[in-house]
Amino acid sequence: MTSATKDRIVIFDTTLRDGEQSPGATMSFEEKLEIADLLDAMGVDVIEAGFPIASDGDFEAVHAIAKRLKTSIVAGLARAIPADIDRAAEAVRVARRGRIHTFVSTSPIHLAHQMRKTEDQVIEIIAATVERARNLIDDVEWSAMDATRTPIDYLCRCVETAIRAGATTINLPDTVGYATPDEYQAMFRAVRERVPNADKAVFSAHCHDDLGLAVANSLAGLAGGARQIECTINGLGERAGNAALEEIVMALKTRGDSLPWECGIDTRMLMRASKLVSAASSFPVQFNKAIVGRNAFAHESGIHQDGMLKNQQTYEIMTPESVGVQKTSLVMGKHSGRAAFKDKLRQLGYEFGDNQIEDAFVRFKALADRKKHIYDEDIEALVDDGIAQSDRLKVRALTVIAGTMGPQSATLTLDVAGHHQTVQATGNGPVDATFNAIKAIVPHDAKLLLYQVHAVTEGTDAQAEVSVRLEDAATGRQVTGRSADPDTLVASAKAYVAAVGRIQQMAASKRLHAQHSDQVKVDEQV
Ligand code: KIV
Ligand code: ZN
């Protein structure tokens, strides 16, 4: 089938909303902006940036993303409540193209137990809330929460009401991941055939993966007439997650012979997006995850390797390059020069100025002195580490005594705004001792929410990539610090220091903001 005869699908990414809603996946403001920029550059049509009424932090993130997106539409979620809708409109109004996405439950079980409303009352709510949204913005999406467990006659009444009130997109989610592909396809077909004004809206699929059917159901939705798919990077999302964007996009691209739809995603950016979301959410990607897992293009068995050497197509249905995996993973050693390093950074998708390249190159050389083989993953970890480190706090030296004789102790020298401070602390294990030493130099009452380690490559000399998430006691805001180093304890110390540095930065900018407001008040009085 040629491109000209294929229908163009709208890709709606909800990593920053449904994805971020999954327990423990909270992302910082800066991480959300970075992800939104990447999704925008990748060709995502609609980015659901958050739930503006949920918190000031959510509002600020949606608002900031709305201001910066170059091509994508930004969507803000709203319950069927006037205050939610007004807040979402306020957040997306600054965008070149904004959308309000409002939803209400329609299934009998939700109406009886969650909403405590009758079917007729919900119909009235749909009419009033969609109309309110449409009076604020031209692009309004309405979702029937738990659509797949809603009797079809009532679902049709709801959809007809929403379209009459001005909805331009109708989303029919499989909220609890219950549907089978045949059922999901039939639901779209029935609604589109029975609802008289169905041709006035774009239909959308939104599937959860409780039975592992989210991607299959999303594609079945297209077969039933949906032309928008809602999905997330790495399938991040509530419970078992949402349909994975990378799987949907690569299924469309690889099986264009039997799936007659296309989308505008630059698939070569999928791997980078996966890594960024994994790092920001601190959710590791399983090794055998389709498309973006570490083993997705690895061939271990002799028969497979033999076939691959003769012809790549024997065991590969898509090329690693098409999803942004570089073919040669083993890249450099200590004899590699600046030009090759610069070229490698460009290949990996980093656009740096000369100073940043020089800084990364110095750290690359130091790593090459300690580690024989440097892989692409090592370079990515090293560069990301540089971006994440705080300017004010730096780990200068760390010596840890560990082993069976306990208590374990850490002697740490930190550079605090240019001054070196050294302490020794003990703890229940070497990591605890190291964190206690940091606390002794930089006292704080942030709560440790997550400490996670994973090896960047294989082998016992692999770099350890560590994520540390802290919750600021004063504001409740969460920050994540990350670092990579061949020494797990050094990486842990640097990740913890990066997180503490972020909390200090947040507090400092809050103080500055407060001083500025006080000054404005004084100026006004004068
Ligand atoms: O799964 C769901 O029903 C949702 C709605 C808010 C669209 O995420
Ligand atoms: Zn959902």
Are 395 and 491 in a shared domain?
A: yes
Range of the domain at 275: 3-281
Strands (E) in 208-336, as ranges, are 228-231, 261-262, 330-332
- For 286-295, the pLDDT digits (tens) are 989 999 998 8
Kindly compute the dihedral angle of the four CA atoms of residues 295, 299, 302, 304, in this order, to the nearest 10 degrees: 130
Do 81 and 227 have their domain in common?
yes
Q: In the chain, which stretches have pLDDT less than 70? A: 1-4, 299-306, 308, 326-331, 386-390, 509-526
Same domain, 231 and 246: yes
Check whether residue 255 and residue 137 sit in a common domain. Answer: yes
Predicted confidence (pLDDT) per residue in 318-358, tens digit: 999 999 986 645 557 777 888 888 888 887 777 778 888 88
Q: Are residues 110 and 32 in the same domain?
A: yes
d(CA 102, CA 80): 6
Strand partners for 453: 466
Ligand 2 centroid, distance to 504 Cα (angstroms): 34
Output the residue whose Cα is nearest ligand 1's atom 8. 18
Domain identity same for 311 and 176:
no
Q: Select from 327, 359, 387 the last residue of a domain.
A: 387
Task: Pick the residue whose CA is nearest to atom 7 on ligand 1.
Answer: 143
| Residue 522, in any domain of the structure | no
Do 380 and 411 share a structural domain? no
Domain match, 382 and 393 both: no
Is 93 inside a domain boundary? yes
pLDDT at 516: 53
Distance, in Å, from the CA atom of 383 to the CA atom of 484, rounded to the nearest integer, reads 9
What is the count of structural domains for the chain?
3
365: tokens are 């050389």
| 344 and 419 within one domain | no
Q: How far is the CA of 175 from the centre of ligand 2 (A)?
A: 5
Structure tokens given for 258: 């039997």
User: What CATH number is attached to the domain comprising 79?
Assistant: 3.20.20.70
Is the same domain home to 443 and 352?
A: no
Nearest ligand to the C-alpha atom of residue 171: 1
Dist. CA 26–CA 24, nearest whole Å: 6
16 CA to centre of ligand 1 in angstroms: 13
- Domain end among 361, 387, 413: 387
Q: What would the two tokens of residue 234 be?
A: 């790495």
Note whether residue 517 is domain-resident: no
Task: Name all residues whose Cβ lies below 6 A of ligand 1.
Answer: 18, 103, 143, 145, 171, 173, 175, 206, 208
Task: Identify whether 47 is part of a domain.
Answer: yes
In angstroms, what is the span from residue 173 Cα to ligand 1's centroid? 6
Q: What is the pLDDT of residue 526?
A: 44
